Amino acid sequence: MVVKVYGAGYGSAKRVIACLIEKEIEFETIPIDLLKGEHKDPHFLQLQPFGVVPVIQDGDYTLFESRAIIRYYAEKYKAQGTDLLGKTIEERGVVEQWLEVEAHNFHPPVYNLVLHTLFSSKLGFPADQKVIQESEEKLGKVLDIYEERLSKCKYLGGDFFSIADLSHLPFAQYLVGDLGKEHMVRRRKNVSRWWDDISNRPSWKKALDVCNP
């Protein structure tokens, strides 16, 4: 069954696309235009009651929340494509730990920078410079912890690429790209080495091609 990915053009959906490519799972993308409000359409809300993207449909199985989706496919197809979870429950625990760190410590400040720097005018609210400054300060502290972690091992979850690293790709891409904050990565040599490693993976390059044709 070909997996349907709704909203592939947007950040959190790219996390799912990169995972499906790493796991060698066939998928198709279904555009959802956020600026036209298609994510608030009653039919879409039946798939995702919170009205955000992505959602996947895999036959009669529907799942939303991008990190839940990548955990699902990483587990369901553990023996296919890249192993993204580690070999032991202890390795899995550390992977889950850094995936939670990405969701609760890395994502919020970067998401605020994206909203207030890139989308405030399109979404019709004033960019809040205080939020921008506070978010950059918070993110700097998070990256300092990453710098220490990555001085001890190649990837966040250990010495193997995992969903913890993969989950960072979409919004770290914003950081070094459209947000113009690449210096926050480059001034930290281990974070810089890590970013070059994970962002040069063929799966990420293909995900960007699929999502930004």
Ligand X SMILES: N[C@@H](CCC(=O)N[C@@H](CS(=O)(=O)O)C(=O)NCC(=O)O)C(=O)O
131 within 8 A of 112, measured Cβ to Cβ: yes
Q: Tell me how far, at minimum, the Cβ of 52 lies from ligand X, in Å.
A: 3
Q: Which stretch binds ligand X (CB under 6 A): 21-29, 50-58, 179-187, 188-196?
A: 50-58
Answer yes or no whether residue 10 interacts with ligand X by CB under 6 A.
yes
Residue 83's CB is within 10 A of a number of other CB atoms, namely 17
Query: Both tokens of residue 170?
Result: 């979409």
Q: Look at strands 3-6 and 55-58 and give their pairing.
A: antiparallel
Find the DSSP H helices in 155-188. 163-166, 169-176, 182-186
Run of H or E including 6:
strand 3-6
Buried-state track 164-177, b at ≥16 Cβ within 10 A, e below 16: bbbbbbbbbbbbbe
Answer yes or no whether residue 66 interacts with ligand X by CB under 6 A.
yes
Among 53, 139, 156, 210, binds ligand X (CB under 6 A): 53
Q: Which stretch binds ligand X (CB under 6 A): 62-70, 133-141, 187-195, 199-207?
A: 62-70
Q: Tell me how far, at minimum, the Cβ of 174 lies from ligand X, in Å.
A: 9
Answer yes or no whether residue 65 interacts with ligand X by CB under 6 A.
yes
| Residue 151 Cα to chain centre, angstroms | 22
Closer CB to ligand X, 155 or 174, in the complex? 174
By CB under 6 A, what part of segment 11-30 binds ligand X? 11-12
Closer CB to ligand X, 82 or 112, in the complex? 112
Binding residues vs ligand X (CB under 6 A): 10-12, 34, 39, 52-54, 65-67
